[in-house]
């Protein structure tokens, strides 16, 4: 399937530095084994794994783009903006991400309080036990604890019955602004990409507004082929890329061999008529 014009690029995944379960090195090996040519590790709000990922990728003769997935609050909802090709030592983005991570500990305590009231004790310590990076305790770590405790059979069930709006363990949170997230990425020399647009709870007018605002402030890309899109959504967001002149990205959003439906690098190629986000890095 691969050719020079269509490399196997996987530009979205997570390590133990955020809410994945594999180390950056193990991810690099898995990507290589799956035929990935161009890889980016995009941990949530964290650059701590970037040097390890880049070194491991280069040792395996894969091209590498430094990456991040920034949590953003827009119109009172959480969206994710991926930054690709950033300078991972840039102080502006390092400081911005530090502030973005800051509230996670307190949020986690409040989530645990709610779960306790719902009859599930020990969730803070339990989630922390799953967190490879205590600065980055996330809902995914709580989900793993609820599965371990037998409350749900898998994390998919957790995210239907807990930790989401209207269910026990949901704590609203103010993340970075869209403007700040895009500005940090741009200042660090990277390209900002709207992550998994098919997952947001907005109507089409609101999505249009998101694309316009994002473009106005210098956002350049959108994920078209991602682990969380259906084939129909590949079409839908391919059209959005054309309509708004966005670069198209491709990434599995891999977290864990058992939890993730889609493995590193194992997803359809970008449609030929779209401009790949990696074209700007050559």
Closest approach of Cβ 44 to Mn ion, in Å? Answer: 6
Distance between CA atoms of residues 75 and 79, nearest Å = 9
Can you name the residues that pair with 64 across neighbouring β-strands? 39
Q: Which does 159 bind (CB under 5 to 8 A by kind): Mn ion, ligand AMP, none?
A: ligand AMP
Give strand ranges (E) for 85-213: 191-194
Closest approach of Cβ 264 to ligand AMP, in Å? Answer: 15
Tell whether residue 80 is a contact of Mn ion (CB under 5 A): yes
Nearer to ligand AMP, 253 or 265 (CB): 253
Q: Which stretch binds Mn ion (CB under 5 A): 65-73, 117-125, 237-245, 272-280?
A: 65-73
Q: Which two tokens stand for residue 57?
A: 């990728």
Task: Please select the residue that binds Mn ion; options are 253, 265, 270, 277, rule is CB under 5 A.
Answer: 253
Nearer to ligand AMP, 120 or 274 (CB): 120
Give Cβ neighbours of residue 85 (< 8 Å, ≥ 6 apart): 65, 66, 67, 189, 190, 191, 280, 281
Q: How far apart, in Å, are the Cα atoms of 240 and each of 53, 64, 165?
A: 31, 27, 28
Interface residues with ligand AMP (CB under 6 A)? 19, 44, 71, 138-140, 155-156, 159, 255
Nearer to Mn ion, 171 or 242 (CB): 171
Helix orientation angle between 123-130 and 139-148, rounded to the nearest 10 degrees: 110
Q: Which does 182 bind (CB under 5 to 8 A by kind): Mn ion, ligand AMP, none?
A: none
Question: DSSP character for 271?
Answer: P
Nearer to ligand AMP, 90 or 139 (CB): 139
Task: Please select the residue that binds Mn ion; options are 10, 11, 19, 38, rule is CB under 5 A.
Answer: 19
Question: DSSP character for 254?
Answer: B
Nearer to ligand AMP, 92 or 103 (CB): 103
Q: How far apart, in Å, are the Cα atoms of 71 and each of 8, 80, 154, 265, 280?
A: 26, 5, 24, 24, 24
Closest approach of Cβ 255 to ligand AMP, in Å? Answer: 6
First to last CA, the chain: 21
Closest approach of Cβ 13 to Mn ion, in Å? Answer: 7
Closest approach of Cβ 78 to ligand AMP, in Å? Answer: 6
Nearer to ligand AMP, 250 or 255 (CB): 255
Q: Are 11 and 67 in contact (CB under 8 A)?
A: yes
Closest approach of Cβ 204 to Mn ion, in Å? Answer: 21
Q: Which residues bind Mn ion (CB under 5 A)?
A: 19, 69, 80, 195, 253
């Amino acid at each position: 399937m691969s050719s020079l014009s269509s490399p196997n690029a996987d530009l979205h995944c997570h390590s133990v530095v955020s809410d994945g379960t594999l180390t950056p090195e193990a991810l690099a090996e898995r990507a290589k084994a799956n035929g990935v040519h161009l890889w980016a590790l995009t941990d949530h709000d964290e650059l701590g794994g970037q040097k390890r990922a880049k070194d491991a990728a280069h040792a395996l003769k894969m091209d590498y783009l430094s990456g991040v997935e920034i949590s953003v609050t827009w119109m009172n909802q959480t969206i994710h903006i991926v930054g690709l090709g950033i300078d991972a030592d840039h102080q502006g983005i390092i400081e911005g991400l530090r502030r973005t991570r800051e509230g996670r500990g307190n949020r986690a305590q409040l989530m645990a309080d709610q779960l306790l009231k719902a009859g599930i004790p020990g969730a803070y310590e339990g989630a922390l036990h799953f967190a490879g990076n205590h600065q980055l305790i996330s809902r995914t770590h709580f989900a793993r604890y609820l599965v371990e405790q037998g409350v749900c059979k898998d994390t998919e069930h957790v995210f239907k019955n807990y930790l989401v709006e209207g269910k026990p363990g949901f704590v609203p949170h103010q993340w970075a602004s869209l403007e700040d997230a895009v500005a940090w990425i741009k200042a660090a020399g990277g390209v900002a990409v709207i992550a998994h647009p098919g997952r947001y709870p907005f109507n089409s007018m609101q999505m249009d507004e998101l694309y316009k605002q994002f473009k106005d402030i210098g956002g350049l890309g959108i994920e078209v082929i991602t682990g969380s899109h259906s084939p129909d959504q590949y079409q839908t967001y391919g059209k959005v890329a054309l309509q708004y002149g966005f670069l198209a990205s491709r990434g599995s959003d891999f977290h864990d061999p058992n939890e993730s439906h889609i493995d590193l690098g194992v997803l359809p190629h970008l449609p030929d008529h779209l401009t790949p986000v990696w074209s700007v890095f050559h």
